[in-house]
Amino acid sequence: MLDREIHGQPYQKSQFRKSLLPKLNQRSEGSIEFKHQNISAVLLKYKLPYIIGYKPRANYQALLEEMVLDYLLKRKELDNLFEKFSNQGITTGPEKVEYAKLLVAPPQNVSIKEPKPAYLQKFRKPNYLEIEQRNQKLGELGEELVIQYEKWRLIHSGKENLAEKVEWVSKESGDGAGFDILSRNENGSDRYIEVKTTKLGELTPFYFSKNELRFSQNHSRKYYLYRVFKFNQKPNLFIKNGSFDEICHYEPTNFMGRII
């Protein structure tokens, strides 16, 4: 299913579930779907793409995690699939966007268990999720979508004059500003928007720079994360206001050392 999804080929989850029923001992389709969601959680935990239709569920047995990782280590051809996902070219955004249905509520009470060191010693893969986020074209198309949404939001609120002031800062001035888009609230005050886009679901981790972190801390009341997800299907976005300290759990992924 993941192979077909990444290659843009249609499939039906129900057909795959039914094909598994004869091979399993008195399992329902619901239990099979739940187990697929557990597998998605394992893949997400190790920074790997997962099937969008199976939202990750993190409460699973340790044995499942071990079996999934063992399978991934033995199937080297999956590396090519993951690499294709990360570098997959997207030339245009969605053809038709219903801006009134674009915004959804952010996920709540998300908890993904930490990797076990014993597995990490033998399981080494590139961070395909971070590679995807560095895809420049995907990032630009996500920001363009947010630009159009912000103009729609302000016009829909009767603030056409403010819609004309929306600025695509990252495109016009580069990535050093600490945010991507300068928009306005309905009262005319500034709204600093950082856009993070993925082809996966809303629980996918995102990555940000030290500069973006500092800017969010210095302008927390005016700082907004716009998380665009399922971009190459039917995209949605959710919004979180505040510094990264306030809106997410984060951890360092790189360090810089100076000789002492």
Same domain, 79 and 134: no
Residues 70, 149 within the same domain: no
Which pLDDT belongs to residue 185?
Answer: 97
Q: Which of 26, 60, 85 is the last residue of a domain?
A: 85
pLDDT for residue 113: 52
**pLDDT for 238:** 98
Q: Is the pTM of this model over 0.95?
A: no
Q: Are residues 225 and 134 in the same domain?
A: yes
Classify residue 146: in a domain, yes or no: yes
Residue 142 sits in the same domain as residue 65: no
Q: Is residue 114 part of a domain?
A: no
Report yes or no: 149 and 98 within 8 Å, Cβ to Cβ. no
Residue 130 to residues 71, 101, 161, 204, 206: CA-CA distances in angstroms? 22, 28, 37, 10, 7
**What is the count of structural domains for the chain?**
2
Give dist(CA 148, CA 139) in Å, integer. Answer: 14
Which residues fall within 8 angstroms of residue 28, CB to CB, at 6 or more apart?
none
Domain assignment present for residue 124? The answer is no
Residues 62 and 141 reside in one and the same domain = no
Same domain, 165 and 76: no
Domain range for 40 is 1-85
Residues 73 and 146 in one domain: no
Regarding whether 78 and 139 lie in a shared domain, the answer is no
The pLDDT assigned to 252 comes to 87
Residues 137 and 243 in one domain: yes
One domain, residues 143 and 79? no
Per the domain annotation, does 173 fall within a domain? yes
Does one domain contain both 145 and 214?
yes
- What's the pLDDT at 121? 54
Indicate whether 193 belongs to any domain. yes
Asked whether residue 100 is domain-assigned, the answer is no
Cα(38)–Cα(89) distance, rounded to whole angstroms?
29
What CATH number did the domain enclosing 192 receive? 3.40.1350
**CA distances from residue 234 to 39, 102, 199 in whole angstroms, order as listed:** 23, 9, 10
What per-residue confidence (pLDDT) applies to 177?
94
Q: Output the six-digit token pair for 103.
A: 């915004």
Quick check: is 111 in a domain? no
Cβ neighbours for 259, distance < 8 A, ≥ 6 positions apart = none
pLDDT value of position 54: 92
Contacts of residues 34-42 at CB distance under 8 Å and 24 or more positions apart, as own/partner, are 35/64, 38/64, 39/64, 39/68, 41/112, 42/68, 42/69
> What is the mean pLDDT of each successive set of 10 residues along the chain, which is 260 residues long?
88 90 87 93 92 89 90 90 87 87 88 52 82 93 97 97 97 92 97 97 94 98 97 94 96 88
Residues 4 and 70 in one domain: yes
Q: Is residue 233 domain-resident? A: yes
Residue 88 is predicted with a pLDDT of: 81
